[in-house]
Structures are given as C-alpha cells and as structure tokens.
Amino acid sequence: MICGADDFGYDMVENEAYFFVSEDMRMAEERKREQLADLEKRFPFKKGQEHPSIIHAVEDIGSILYKQKKLSEAEPFYRRALSWYESRYGQTAPEALIRGNNLAVLLKQRNKYAEAEKLYRKAIGGQSLVLGANHADTLQTVSNLAVLLRGMGPTRAAEAETYFRRVLTGREADLGEGHPATLQALTNLASFLGDQDARETEAETLHRRTLARWEAHYGPAHPGTLHAAANLAFFLDNVLKREDDETENLYRRVVTGYCEQLGENHRSTIKANENLERYVQQRQQEQAGSSSEEARQCASSRSDQERARLGAGDIESVVWCLA
C-alpha cells in the first residue's frame, strides 16, 4: 500500500521532511552495501533474475540514500528495483506500480518532471484498472501527480486543481469527511488555491473547514487539529497579510498545544514559536509605525492650524495698518 502523508517506507509520498543525515544512517548504508555485495556473490544472477533477497537489499539501500538526500546515488537502486518487479510480476502488477510511484517521487525531487509525470500517469492507469479509481493507493498517486503539476507552474495549474479535487472527492466518498486522509486532501486543495490569483477567499474557507472538522472529530488538542490551526494562521499571516488578534491567537494556540503534546524541544514546537515571535514583533513594529504616523499627522495638522492662525493675524494687521 502507498503510504499516507505522515508515513515512510518503500511506498513514498511527497514529503521532504524525511530527508535527514545521521551517523546511524551512514552506518546502516555501509552495512547494507556489504550485505548486498555478499548476496550477489552467494546468488549469481542474470539481470532481471536476481534472488528476491538481493532486491530487498537494493530497496533498503535506495531508501537509506533517499533519507540522506543522496538522490543521484539512490536513483539507480530505485530503477533496478522497478525493473525487477516489472520483469517478475508484470508492468501493471501492484508491486511494480508502487515502485514506479516511488521512482517518480525521487525524480520529482531531482527536477526530472517529464519522466516523473509519465511514471505517475502509468501508475495511475494501472492502479485504476487493477485496484479501482478510488482505491487509496490510486488516489495517493493522483495526489502525487497533482503536487508535481503544481510545481510545474501556472500553465499546469488548472490540471493540478482537477486532480486535487478528484482526490478530495474520492477520499470523502470512500473514507468520510472526518478521516485524516480526507482532511489532508482538503488541506492540499486549500494550500493550492492559496497560491492562485484571486482564489484566496475559497482557500480561506477550506482552511477554516479543515480546522473545524479536525476539532469536531478529534478534539482541540489533537496534533492534526493543531497543524490545521497552524496552516490557517500561516495563511492569514502570509497570504492575506492580516495583522489581527485572531491570527496571533492561532499562533499562540499552536505553540501551547505543541508544547503540551510534543514537548518544548520538538522541532515543530520550535518552528511554531519562531512563527509566533516573528508575528508578534511584526505587529508591534506595525503598531509603532502607525502610532508614529498618527503623531506625525497630528503634529502636521496642528502646524497647519497654527500657520493659518498666524497668517490670518498678519493679514488683519496689514489691513488695520492700511486703514
């Protein structure tokens, strides 16, 4: 099965949060490479006819390299795995289609959009035929294609929107409006619309609907609810450029909730706190600027009145003298 937005495994989705490098990862990569070399010696093979344990090691290495953002190194491992699954099970087999989706995700990260698009469309065609158009795996690949098209610029925006809406409709029909996958689809559509000209009102409506559904189905303190609140705050702040109490209170709610749910040292908490501090400072500067401007205008108005009064007195004096 293709993973959801918060999962990671062989079945990949668009999520750069999984890129990280650690000593454990480097050690794991080294061990897996040694294991692969050993397996290839133990099980002599022709290309496309490798022992399954060899391909499992190939996929492990590809996944480890992807997590370390070694994308150019990971690509040959993904291609090798896809080729093997297609040869063994057929090009339309779910096992092969999953690997095609995985390779497309990687290629998208490498800006190889044209090939990634072909792989996504091939996977969608096969998944729709074998699994059904509204199957969870099919819709996840459709969502990945929508993300790809969104990144290809305004000329592909209309097509991207069609796919974002297709995913949302399918999720609602199959899972219901309160399922996390449905709410993620709603978030994706809202985020997309927020980037389009003159679509901000609809985007705001969808962000608010997402938050309301999270609250209704999972409660105000659920991490998903807090994430929806963070998305709405960010939209009000950065897209609509609002300087108001609602936006600040949303930021504060997210910080408080993340501290309680995740801890103050969690990266999400730290990022939320940075957003809050930036926004508060931004509002203070704006308010200080407004106060200064009001004071300047007030002083200017008083000066104008004084000049008018003095000017009128001068004229009267002149007139009096002439009289």
pLDDT digits (tens, 9 = 90+) for 89-144: 999 999 999 999 999 999 999 999 999 999 999 999 999 999 999 999 999 999 99
Q: Is the pLDDT of residue 183 over 80?
A: yes
Q: Which pLDDT band, with edges at 50, 70 and 90, does 12 fall under? A: very low
Q: End-to-end alpha-carbon separation of the chain, Å?
A: 102
Residue-wise burial string across 6-29, b where 16 or more C-beta atoms lie within 10 A, e elsewhere: eeeebbbbbeeeeeeeeeeeeebb
Alpha-carbon distance values, 124 to 90, 164, 229 (Å): 15, 14, 32
The yes-or-no verdict on residue 225 having pLDDT over 80 is yes
Q: Residues near 317 by Cβ (< 8 Å), separated by ≥ 6?
A: none
* Cβ contacts of 5 within 8 Å, gap of 6 or more: 13, 15, 181, 184
pLDDT class of 14 with cuts at 50, 70, 90: very low
C-alpha distances out from residue 33 to 9, 58, 161, 210, Å: 19, 8, 42, 44
pLDDT in the model for residue 113: 97
Q: Which two tokens stand for residue 266?
A: 């969690």
pLDDT at 20: 46
* CA proximity to 229, closest of 243, 245, 244, 215: 215
Q: To 10 degrees, what angle do helices 71-89 and 52-67 make?
A: 150
Higher per-residue confidence, 152 vs 1: 152
Which residue blocks in 196-266 are alpha helix, DSSP H? Answer: 200-218, 223-238, 245-261
Output the DSSP codes for 43-100: S---TT---HHHHHHHHHHHHHHHHTT-HHHHHHHHHHHHHHHHHHH-TTSHHHHHHH
The pTM is what?
0.78
HSE-CB of 201 using CA atoms within 13 angstroms: 1
Q: For position 49, what pLDDT does the model report? A: 83
The pLDDT assigned to 288 comes to: 84
pLDDT at residue number 287: 87
User: CA 244, CA 285: separation in Å to the nearest integer?
Assistant: 13
Selected residue with higher pLDDT from 203 and 291 = 203
pLDDT at 47: 74
Supply the mean pLDDT for the chain: 86
The confidence band for 323, taking pLDDT boundaries of 50, 70 and 90, is very low
pLDDT, tens digit, 9 for 90 and up, residues 52-78: 999 999 999 999 999 999 999 999 999
pLDDT per position as a tens digit, 240-297: 999 999 999 999 999 999 999 999 999 999 999 999 999 999 999 988 876 565 556 5
User: Who has greater pLDDT, 299 or 113?
Assistant: 113
One-letter amino acid of 295: A
d(CA 156, CA 151): 8
Distance CA 62, CA 316 (A): 92
Residue with more model confidence, 104 or 308? 104
pLDDT value at 4 more than 60? no
